[in-house]
A and B are shown apart, each in its own frame.
Chain A
Amino acid sequence: AQSVTQLDSQVPVFEEAPVELRCNYSSSVSVYLFWYVQYPNQGLQLLLKYLSGSTLVKGINGFEAEFNKSQTSFHLRKPSVHISDTAEYFCAVSPRRGMDKFYFGSGTKLNVKP
């Protein structure tokens, strides 16, 4: 079975500061990894994904994440946040086999202050 842990339910940060949102997972099989963002009253939008290859992946809006297999982590980072980055961020894993479900973390609310 798979599970995803987002340890921080809320992360307050000042505008233009760097931020890291943590994601750890457990799985008995190889997985694909994703980060989604949910702006208020909207659906989820893909930020970035890791399927294979380079462990550092870059996504939209200046976000990046690094897959660390030994630590089973996929932390999301941005060097300088904007007010518009205020949103809920979800980490998700999907087993590398067909027709299995996504496992979502509980979400981290990023609150960017002026």
Chain B
Amino acid sequence: DTAVSQTPKYLVTQMGNDKSIKCEQNLGHDTMYWYKQDSKKFLKIMFSYNNKELIINETVPNRFSPKSPDKAHLNLHINSLELGDSAVYFCASESGATYEQYFGPGTRLTVT
């Protein structure tokens, strides 16, 4: 059983396109996150949702729009993709009991 899953695992697309990444967790957690990891492995938080409500919105271009249809899902939609959006995007969910974050396997986005 995969705790946090993401689709797709790889995404190659051209500049200007719109794409979505999906995330699902089956851990029953209320809080979920999106992170961006650049080529130097630096992890930057993008968004956080708690029970479908946006609670953290870091300085991210408004081309990025998260959407949480229910507390088990947190999707990321990106409009007008740019070369600088190339990175690995990780979804995570957080246990309210142990404060651990559980990460998905990542989505490697390549914009050409």
Contact = CB atoms under 8 A, between A and B. Distances in A.
B56 A46 contact: no
A12 B98 CA distance: 32
Interface string A88-106: 1010101000010110101
B103 A32 contact: no
User: Does more than half of chain B's interface fall in helix, strand or loop, or is it mixed?
Assistant: strand
A67 interface: no
Interface residues of A, number: 23
Closest 7 CB pairs of A and B: A43-B103, A44-B103, A104-B43, A107-B41, A43-B105, A32-B99, A101-B45
A49 B100 contact: yes
Contacts of B105: 42-43
A43 B92 CA distance: 9
A101 B99 CA distance: 10
Contact of A34 (B42, B90, B100): B100
B43 A43 contact: no
B86 interface: no
A51 interface: yes
Interface of A: 32, 34, 36, 38, 41-46, 49, 51, 88, 90, 92, 94, 99, 101-102, 104, 106-107, 109
A97 B46 CA distance: 19
A42 B104 CA distance: 8
B106 A46 contact: no
B7 interface: no
B75 interface: no
B8 to A, nearest CB: 14
A42 B106 contact: yes
A44 B99 contact: no
Contacts of B56: 101
A89 to B, nearest CB: 10
B110 interface: no
B111 to A, nearest CB: 19
Interface in B42-56: 42-43, 45, 48, 50, 55-56
Given A43-B103, A99-B31, A90 B43 contact: yes
